[in-house]
Amino acid sequence: MRLKIHQTCRWASLLSCGFILFGSTQFRAAASPASGSTPISGLKLAQFNIRLPSIGIPGVPAVEGIIKGAIADQITQAMGRTLQTEAPIVSSAQALFPTVATLPGRPFRATGDLRPIGQQIRTSRDGTVLLAPGDYAIPVNVFCMKHAASSPPGHRYLLAPLKGKMADVIVALNSRTVGLNLPHPQLQVLSWNLQAGMKYEEMTPELRAIVDLVLPDFKPRLRRSFLEQIDASWSQLSSTVPGLPSMDSSLNRLGDVGRTVVTLKQTRETLLRYGNNYESLSRALVTQNVRATSGNTPWSRVSDRVYARMITQGNYSTPAELQVRVVPASGSASTAPVQIASSQGIVSAQSAASPVPVNLTNLVADPQNAGIQPLSTSPQPPKPDKKEDEDESGSGTLQLNGEGFTGPQSPPQGLPQS
Lowest mean pLDDT among 117-121, 252-256, 357-361, 375-379: 252-256
pLDDT for the residue 291: 86
Return the higher-pLDDT residue of 18 and 75.
75
Do 358 and 315 belong to one domain? yes
Sequence letter at residue 418: S
Q: Which residues of 397-418 are buried (b: 16+ CB within 10 A; e: fewer)?
A: ebeeeeebbeeeeebbeebeee
Lowest mean pLDDT among 173-177, 332-336, 368-372: 332-336
Q: Looking at the domain assignment, is residue 70 inside a domain? A: yes
Do 331 and 204 belong to one domain? yes
Do 204 and 55 belong to one domain? no
pLDDT for the residue 236: 87
Q: Looking at the domain assignment, is residue 351 inside a domain? A: yes
Give tens-digit pLDDT for 160-169: 999 999 999 9
Do 303 and 343 belong to one domain? yes
Do 215 and 351 belong to one domain? yes
Q: Looking at the domain assignment, is residue 22 inside a domain? A: yes
Tell me the mean pLDDT in the region 356-378. 94
Using the predicted structure, report yes or no on whether residue 24 has a pLDDT greater than 50: no
Q: Looking at the domain assignment, is residue 384 inside a domain? A: no
Return the higher-pLDDT residue of 48 and 136.
136
Lowest mean pLDDT among 144-153, 250-259, 267-276: 250-259
Query: Of all residues in the chain, what percent are helix, strand and coil, respectively (each to 5)?
Result: 30, 20, 50
Confidence of residue 378 (pLDDT cuts 50, 70, 90): very high
Dist. CA 222–CA 166, nearest whole Å: 10
- By C-alpha distance, which of 330, 284, 323, 283 is closest to 305? 330
pLDDT for the residue 331: 47
Do 237 and 203 belong to one domain? no
Do 67 and 129 belong to one domain? no
Do 200 and 228 belong to one domain? no
Using the predicted structure, report yes or no on whether residue 60 has a pLDDT greater than 70: no
pLDDT for the residue 85: 87
Q: How many domains does the chain contain in total?
A: 2
Return the higher-pLDDT residue of 186 and 412.
186
Do 38 and 20 belong to one domain? yes
Q: Which residues of 94-126 are buried (b: 16+ CB within 10 A; e: fewer)?
A: eeebeeeeebeeeebeeebebeebeebbbbbbb
Q: Looking at the domain assignment, is residue 413 inside a domain? A: no
Lowest mean pLDDT among 156-170, 215-229, 336-350: 336-350
pLDDT for the residue 37: 35
Tell me the mean pLDDT in the region 92-113. 94
The whole domain housing 64 covers 6-90+224-269
Q: Looking at the domain assignment, is residue 180 inside a domain? A: yes
Q: Looking at the domain assignment, is residue 387 inside a domain? A: no
Confidence of residue 225 (pLDDT cuts 50, 70, 90): very high
Do 203 and 246 belong to one domain? no
pLDDT for the residue 354: 87
Do 127 and 212 belong to one domain? yes
Average pLDDT, the chain: 76
Using the predicted structure, report yes or no on whether residue 73 has a pLDDT greater than 70: yes
Question: Which residue blocks in 215-254 are alpha helix, DSSP H?
Answer: 226-240, 247-250
Do 110 and 54 belong to one domain? no
Lowest mean pLDDT among 81-95, 190-204, 331-345: 331-345
Phi-psi label, residue 184: left if phi above 0, alpha if psi -120 to 50, beta otherwise: alpha
Q: Looking at the domain assignment, is residue 152 inside a domain? A: yes
Contact 260, 87 (CB under 8 A): no
Dist. CA 415–CA 124, nearest whole Å: 9
Instruction: For the chain, give the percent of residues with pLDDT over 70.
Output: 69
Dist. CA 16–CA 14, nearest whole Å: 7
